[in-house]
Structure 1
Amino acid sequence: MQDTQSTNQGVSWQTVEADYADQRIDNYLLAQLKGVPKSLVYRILRKGEVRVNKKRVKPEYRLQAGDLIRIPPVRVADQNPLPSANLSSVQALDQQVLYEDDILIVLNKPAGMAVHGGSGLQFGLIESLRALRPQAKHLELVHRLDRETSGCILISKRRSALRHLHEQLRNKTMDKQYVALVRGQWQDHVKLVAAPLLKNTLKSGERVVRVDADGKPSETKFRVVERFEDCSLVEASPLTGRTHQIRVHALHAGHPLAQDPKYGDEGFNQQMRERGLQRLFLHAKSLRFEHPQSGEMIQVVAPLEPSLLQVLKSLRQ
Structure 2
Amino acid sequence: MKKFIIEENEAGQRFDKYLAKLLKEAPKSFFYKMLRKKNITLNGKKATGNEKLLKGDTIKLFLSDETFDKFAGSTQIARDYCELDIIYEDADIIIINKPAGMLSQPADDGESSLVEYLIGYLLKKGELTEEQLKTFKPSVCNRLDRNTSGMVCAGKSLAGLQFLSGIFHDRTLHKYYLCLVKGKLDKPAHIKGYLHKDKKTNKVTVSKQEFPDSLPIETAYRPLGSNGKMTLLEVELITGRTHQIRAHLAGTGHPLLGDTKYGDNEFNKQYTRHGVKHQLLHAYRLVIPETDQAFVAPVPELFFKIINEEHLQEAYHENLERSMGLRKNDHHSGADRNTHK
TM-score (normalizing by structure 1):
0.75
**Residue 107 of structure 1: which of 84, 92, 96 is its match?**
96
Check if 1:310 corresponds to 2:305. Answer: yes
Letter in 2 for 1:112: G
1:297 pairs with one of 292, 297, 319: 292
Q: Return 191-200 or 222-231, whichever deviates more.
A: 191-200
1:299 positional shift? 1.3
CA distance in 2, matches of 1:32, 1:311: 50
Residue identity opposite 2:301 in structure 1: P
C-alpha deviation, 1:200, in angstroms: 2.6
The aligned residue for residue 120 of structure 1 is 109
Are 1:45 and 1:57, in contact at CA under 8 Å, matched by a contact in 2?
no
SS of residue in 1 equivalent to 2:196:
strand
Identity rate of aligned residues, in percent?
A: 29
Q: CA-to-partner distance for each residue in 1:86-120, whole Å, 9 max, x for gaps?
A: xxxx13x2xx1122222222121111111133232
Aligned to 1:9: none
1:24 to partner: Cα distance: 5.8
Secondary structure, in 3 states, of the residue corresponding to 1:195?
Answer: strand
Give the partner amino acid of 1:196.
Answer: Y
Find the aligned partners of 2:20 and 2:185 in 1 and give their Cα distance.
Answer: 45
| Conserved? CA contact 1:50–1:69, under 8 Å | no
Give the direction of change, closer, same or farther, for the CA distance of 1:241–1:77 in structure 2 (3 Å limit).
farther
Q: Number of residues paired by the alignment?
A: 283
- How many angstroms does 1:147 deviate by? 0.9
Tell whether the 8 Å contact from 2:140 to 2:154 is kept in structure 1 after alignment.
yes
Q: For residues 78 and 18 of structure 1, do their structure 2 counterparts lie closer, same or farther at Cα, with a shift above 3 Å needed?
A: closer
1:120–1:313 CA distance, 2 compared to 1 (3 A): same
The structural deviation recorded for 1:274 is 4.2
Q: 1:274 to 1:30 in 2, by over 3 A?
A: farther
1:136 to 121, 127, 139: 127
Aligned partners of 1:30, 1:272: CA distance in 2, in Å? 52
What code does the residue aligned with 1:136 have? E
| 1:149 CA displacement | 0.8
Correspondence list, 1:125-274, <5 A: 125-134=114-123, 135-137=126-128, 138-186=137-185, 188=187, 191-202=189-200, 207-211=202-206, 213=211, 214-274=213-273
- The unaligned stretches of length 5 or more in structure 1 are 6-12
Cα pair 2:22 2:72 within 8 Å, conserved = no
Secondary structure class of the residue paired with 1:160: helix
Alpha carbons of structure 1 residues 245 and 208: separation in structure 2 relative to 1, 3 Å: same
Name the residue aligned to 1:82.
79
Secondary structure of the residue that 1:20 maps to in structure 2? coil
| TM norm structure 2 | 0.70
Instruction: Give the structure with higher Rg (CA).
Output: 2
Could you tell me how far 1:255 is from its partner in structure 2?
1.7
Q: Aligned runs of 1:14-93 on 2, under 5 Å?
A: 15-23=5-13, 44=28, 48=32, 53=42, 54-57=46-49, 63-65=53-55, 66=57, 68=59, 73-74=70-71, 78=75, 81-83=78-80, 85=81, 90-91=82-83, 93=84
Given that 2:19 and 2:31 are in contact with CA atoms closer than 8 Å, whether structure 1 keeps it comes out as no
8 Å contact kept, 2:105–2:143: no
* Structure 1 residues 29 and 140: CA distance shift in structure 2, 3 A: farther
